[in-house]
């Protein structure tokens, strides 16, 4: 069989040179067959001149017409419905032209049914020719590779059919599809592209036992989180590996759907609507401008860099104190965006002079300020470092922006700034008040407030994954602990969208959907690992940590909500502090940090943020404040 396929391969390759001859043979064969059918396979001698003229006309007219429709330029080894439509159009055009010529040039009495029969037969013969070429090609590809892993495709819709076609065309991927699983009862036992729908998801255990497959490819890009959870539980009960594919839209953008096969991620199990970015507005605000990102090597900062680079800024300045992450970011940006002018700059936002030098060197138009300490429990035991980095560092960058004529300053804030119970949240709230207190100037100051980001450096996801890998237990602070969650790309995109809408002084708040229980995230991650929650991996509750709240909020009681043109972004307005008062308080906090006096710093923050409720740890530290050496805080992360 291998020798036969090799011979067929040579014939197909050589057939490219013989295409005009093969095409002429098909045209002639269709014409002769039309005459034979018309006269019941015995052509009268009277009609032989008609046949000879017709063959010449068909060859000339159809060869030219098929050339116009470029049938010789199509990849027939991927023969599809589109190709069938083009083939029919070409044959209709060829039949029309040749029929007109025949009734002008052929001898009188030319049978009127012949052109119709010729049209049908020529279309059929050419379709068979090209379809057979695809079948031989696919057979050759299968013959070249070892039999692949036997899998089932969950979902017999558009994505499932597209995935099946790609896996058949690419045996090197190592998959052999035995059939479909689909919950639509009307598809049961139906053959889709030659693959049978074997049953519903509830039948998966018996189907796996019958077929012996070890993996299921989930081709349901638009599946709701609840549906995806049910499918994963069915796969787990059947003891098969499961993977999913990306949205079919990515294949439309030029990415092969088969190349998007990946492990199911916790993001697939969260109720998150896709972000619809106003690319025109964002492009207008970024294209051709110098943009600077502080905390650029962190998870949010680095994603901001990736998203900004797509809009072709004049230059991108990445500022961070973390040397190694900045080095890796620079390599990634130069590889992914070779045309981007990228500048990686080391420095701390607490060093006003260093910040000013960088701004004067590159004169950015926009600054995205993502540098901050964000780990709540660590900041509870490092009050002065949180104040020095988050608040006073933000003041340094904001003031330098005004001094250097930056057009826009965008503060990355947090939902922990709302009725804060942590030092981190309180400093973020003060940063919001700080930029609103700056007198009107050339620089527009806006803040963007959002919640937890899946996969970020401070997210619980990496911790849970490590605990699961170690066999558990997975530790959750409290069974009712809830948080808002969004993905890193979604957060970065909405930040860019909000900043493009800013006019100055706004606090933009991103719509993050519903809060999700942390324990539910833990259970989903355990399920994704192929284990059973509370059976294979235990979940333990360790108790809330200092500064933590059971749930987060997005706005204060005195903040009014103003809608924007984007459905996922709102503006909150509330109380402000005067510029003179803010300058005076910043000077006080500067002095308290310099002399390491947290006993006065905490009450001062509470006077500025009355809704702040310090943890017992912070209050105890403030009561027993001692002078310690000043630790120079880093501005890495986000």
Q: What is the CATH number of the domain that holds 422?
A: 3.40.50.720
Q: How many CA atoms lie less than 13 Å away from 554 in the CB half-sphere?
A: 22
> Is 553 part of a structural domain of the chain?
no
Average of per-residue pLDDT across 334-359: 95
Question: Higher pLDDT residue, 310 or 137?
Answer: 310
Report H helices in 145-272: 158-169, 204-211, 225-238, 248-252
Average of per-residue pLDDT across 311-330: 95
pLDDT value of position 277: 62
Question: Higher pLDDT residue, 81 or 259?
Answer: 81
pLDDT value of position 133: 67
Say how far apart CA 415 and CA 510 lie, in whole Å.
10
pLDDT tens for 63-79 read 888 788 777 665 555 55
**Contact (Cβ atoms closer than 8 angstroms) between residue 219 and residue 260:** no
Of the listed 374, 416, 428, 568, which one is catalytic? 416
Average of per-residue pLDDT across 373-379: 87
State whether 94 and 200 are in the same domain: no
- For the beta carbon of residue 137, count every other beta carbon within 10 angstroms: 20
Give 537's DSSP letter: B
State whether 424 and 413 are in the same domain: yes
What sign does the dihedral 419-424-430-432 (CA atoms) show? Answer: negative
pLDDT value of position 12: 45
pLDDT of residue 89 exceeding 50, the answer is yes
| Among candidate residues 207, 231, 264, the one where a domain is terminated | 264
State both tokens at 100: 């007109």
State whether 257 and 397 are in the same domain: no
Say how far apart CA 461 and CA 401 lie, in whole Å.
35
State whether 591 and 449 are in the same domain: yes
State whether 41 and 109 are in the same domain: yes
| Among candidate residues 92, 116, 142, the one where a domain is terminated | 142
> Is 80 part of a structural domain of the chain?
yes
pLDDT band with cut points at 50, 70 and 90 for residue 512: low
pLDDT tens for 121-134 read 888 888 777 777 66
pLDDT tens for 426-441 read 999 999 999 888 888 8
- For the beta carbon of residue 434, count every other beta carbon within 10 angstroms: 26
Average of per-residue pLDDT across 573-592: 82
pLDDT of residue 298 exceeding 80, the answer is yes
> Is 549 part of a structural domain of the chain?
no
State whether 339 and 443 are in the same domain: yes
Would you call 570 a catalytic residue per the annotation? no
pLDDT tens for 266-276 read 565 565 555 56
pLDDT value of position 498: 81
pLDDT value of position 634: 35
Average of per-residue pLDDT across 372-398: 91
pLDDT band with cut points at 50, 70 and 90 for residue 548: low
pLDDT value of position 15: 47
> Is 539 part of a structural domain of the chain?
no
State whether 493 and 586 are in the same domain: yes
> Is 19 part of a structural domain of the chain?
yes
Percent of the chain with pLDDT over 90: 20
pLDDT value of position 637: 37
Mean pLDDT, the chain, integer: 79
State whether 253 and 292 are in the same domain: no
Say how far apart CA 126 and CA 86 lie, in whole Å.
12
pLDDT value of position 430: 92
pLDDT value of position 4: 43
Average of per-residue pLDDT across 281-299: 91
Say how far apart CA 513 and CA 480 lie, in whole Å.
18
pLDDT value of position 306: 92
> Is 430 part of a structural domain of the chain?
yes
| Among candidate residues 213, 234, 264, the one where a domain is terminated | 264
Give, for 573, the enclosing helix (H) or strand (E): strand 569-573
Structural domain range at position 585: 279-453+487-509+559-623
pLDDT value of position 233: 83
pLDDT of residue 457 exceeding 60, the answer is no
pLDDT value of position 509: 79
Most confident of 165-179, 388-402, 414-428, 451-465: 388-402
State whether 259 and 295 are in the same domain: no
State whether 150 and 126 are in the same domain: no
pTM listed for this prediction: 0.63
pLDDT value of position 547: 63
Percent of the chain with pLDDT over 70: 77
Cis peptide before 473 (omega within 30 of 0): yes
State both tokens at 386: 């949180």
| Cα separation values, 164 from 75, 169, 189, 201, 512, Å | 19, 9, 17, 18, 35
Domain tally, the chain: 3
**Contact (Cβ atoms closer than 8 angstroms) between residue 601 and residue 383:** yes
pLDDT of residue 252 exceeding 50, the answer is no
pLDDT value of position 90: 84
- Least confident stretch, 170-174, 198-202, 322-326, 433-437: 170-174
pLDDT value of position 312: 92
pLDDT of residue 263 exceeding 60, the answer is no
pLDDT band with cut points at 50, 70 and 90 for residue 253: very low
Strand partners, 414: 450
pLDDT band with cut points at 50, 70 and 90 for residue 492: confident
State whether 237 and 342 are in the same domain: no
Nearby residues of 280 by Cβ (< 8 Å), 6 or more positions away:
none
> Is 13 part of a structural domain of the chain?
yes
> Is 76 part of a structural domain of the chain?
yes
Average of per-residue pLDDT across 273-281: 66
State whether 318 and 371 are in the same domain: yes
Average of per-residue pLDDT across 176-198: 87
501 by DSSP, 3-state: which? helix
pLDDT of residue 140 exceeding 60, the answer is no
pLDDT of residue 40 exceeding 90, the answer is no
pLDDT of residue 501 exceeding 50, the answer is yes
């Amino acid at each position: 069989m291998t020798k036969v396929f090799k011979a067929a391969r040579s014939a197909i390759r050589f057939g490219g040179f013989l295409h005009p001859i093969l095409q002429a043979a098909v045209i002639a064969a269709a014409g002769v067959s039309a005459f034979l059918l018309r006269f019941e396979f015995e052509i009268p001698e009277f009609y032989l001149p008609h046949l000879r003229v017709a063959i010449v006309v068909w060859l000339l007219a159809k060869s030219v017409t098929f050339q116009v429709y470029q049938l010789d330029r199509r990849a027939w080894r991927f023969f599809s419905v589109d190709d069938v439509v083009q083939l029919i159009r070409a044959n209709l055009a060829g039949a029309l032209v040749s029929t007109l010529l025949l009734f002008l040039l052929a001898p009188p009495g030319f049978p009127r049914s012949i052109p119709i029969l010729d049209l049908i037969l020529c279309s059929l013969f050419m379709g068979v020719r090209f379809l057979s070429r695809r079948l031989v090609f696919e057979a050759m590809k299968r013959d070249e590779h070892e039999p692949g892993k036997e899998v089932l495709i969950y979902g017999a819709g558009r994505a499932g059919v597209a995935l099946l076609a790609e896996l058949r065309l690419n045996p090197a991927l190592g998959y052999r599809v035995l059939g479909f699983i689909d919950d639509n009862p009307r598809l049961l036992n139906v053959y889709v592209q030659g693959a049978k729908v074997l049953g519903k998801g509830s039948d998966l255990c018996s189907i796996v036992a019958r077929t012996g497959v070890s993996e299921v490819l989930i081709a349901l890009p638009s599946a709701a989180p609840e549906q995806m959870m049910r499918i994963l539980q069915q796969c787990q009960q059947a003891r098969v590996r499961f993977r999913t594919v990306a949205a079919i839209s990515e294949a439309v953008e030029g990415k092969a759907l088969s190349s998007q096969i990946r492990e199911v991620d916790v993001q697939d199990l969260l109720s998150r609507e896709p972000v619809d970015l106003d690319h025109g507005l964002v492009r207008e605000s970024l294209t051709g401008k110098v943009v600077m990102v502080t905390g650029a090597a962190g998870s949010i900062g680095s994603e901001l860099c990736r998203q900004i680079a797509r809009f072709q800024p004049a230059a991108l300045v990445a500022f961070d104190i973390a040397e190694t992450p900045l080095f890796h970011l620079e390599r990634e940006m130069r590889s992914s965006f070779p045309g981007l002018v990228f500048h990686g700059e080391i420095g701390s936002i607490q060093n006003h002079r260093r910040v000013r030098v960088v701004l004067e060197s590159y004169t950015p138009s926009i600054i995205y300020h993502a540098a901050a300490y964000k780990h709540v429990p660590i900041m509870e035991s490092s009050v002065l470092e949180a104040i020095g980095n988050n608040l006073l560092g933000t003041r340094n960058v904001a003031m330098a922006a005004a001094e250097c004529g930056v057009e826009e300053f965008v503060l990355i804030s947090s939902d922990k700034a709302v009725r804060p119970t942590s030092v981190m949240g309180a400093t973020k709230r003060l940063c919001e008040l700080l930029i609103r207190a700056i007198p009107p100037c050339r620089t527009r100051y806006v803040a963007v407030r959002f919640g937890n980001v899946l996969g970020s450096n401070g997210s619980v996801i990496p911790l849970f994954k490590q605990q699961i890998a170690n066999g558990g237990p997975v530790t959750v602070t409290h069974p009712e602990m809830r948080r808002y969650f969004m993905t890193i790309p979604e957060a970065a995109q909405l930040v860019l969208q909000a900043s493009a809408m800013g006019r100055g002084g706004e606090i933009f708040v991103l719509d993050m959907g519903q809060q999700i229980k942390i324990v539910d995230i833990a259970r989903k991650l355990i399920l994704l690992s192929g284990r059973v929650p509370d059976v294979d991996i235990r979940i333990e509750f360790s108790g809330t940590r200092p500064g933590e709240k059971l749930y987060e909020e997005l706005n204060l009681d005195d903040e009014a909500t103003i809608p924007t043109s984007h459905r996922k972004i709102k503006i909150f307005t509330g109380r402000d502090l005067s510029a003179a008062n803010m300058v005076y308080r910043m000077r006080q906090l500067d002095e308290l940090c310099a002399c390491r006096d947290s006993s006065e710093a905490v009450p001062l923050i509470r006077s500025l943020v009355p809704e702040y409720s310090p943890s017992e740890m912070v209050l105890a530290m403030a009561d027993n404040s001692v002078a310690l050496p000043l630790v120079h805080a880093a501005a890495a992360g986000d």
